[in-house]
Amino acid sequence: MSQHLVITAIGTDRPGMCNQIVHLVSSAECNILDSRIAIFGSECTLSMHISGISSAITRIESLLPLLGQDNDIITMTKRTTPPPQQNNFYNIEITVEAEDRLGLTEQFTQFFADKSIGLASLSAQTIDKSTSKLSQDQFHISITAKLDSDIDVAMLETEFEHLCEKLLVKGSISFTKNNL
């Protein structure tokens, strides 16, 4: 029976850092089901969902901390289960652009939480005003989610537009029908 593990690793960004972890996973004959890499400052973060036989997962749990110690990488693992089968009817993508101010990310994550919509991904970024050549730092956020067929997409779109108007931000929302 296949076991599942989530791996998180953080280390100074350098070529090959993530490959060391991918190599460990591959050499243990585990399958990478999902992964994300992000750079924050000078740090690289890797999150990965893997599966494999019990002994292979145990091997990763044993060897990953040693790999981390040898390469100045902070690692963490947690056993998990496969994601539940969902009958998602729509994929949703939103983007927001605005002058940066405190609380904008929370406003949008709260919007979805209030509707019991789980987020699939979130990327929020502040662009320094010197880079954008504007008078104030800029804020960009991108969110994706999956919606079940019981969600009223027209109502969701209207409520999202009202939130953008209230917060004085430029936002867009799009829905793609999932044909799976």
Q: Annotate 57-79 with three-state secondary structure.
A: HHHHHHHHHHHHHHHCEEEEEEE
Contact 139, 124 (CB under 8 A): yes
Confidence at residue 134, expressed as pLDDT on a 0 to 100 scale: 77
Q: What's the CA gap between 148 and 104, in Å, rounded?
A: 26
Confidence at residue 180, expressed as pLDDT on a 0 to 100 scale: 56
Q: Write out pLDDT tens, residues 143-172.
A: 999 888 788 999 999 999 999 999 999 999
Closest CA to 165 of 117, 111, 84, 115: 111
124 or 83: which carries more pLDDT confidence?
124
Q: What's the CA gap between 81 and 2, in Å, rounded?
A: 9
What confidence tier does 133 reach under pLDDT thresholds 50, 70, 90?
confident
C-alpha neighbours within 13 Å on the C-beta side of residue 41: 4
Closest CA to 141 of 90, 100, 110, 174: 100
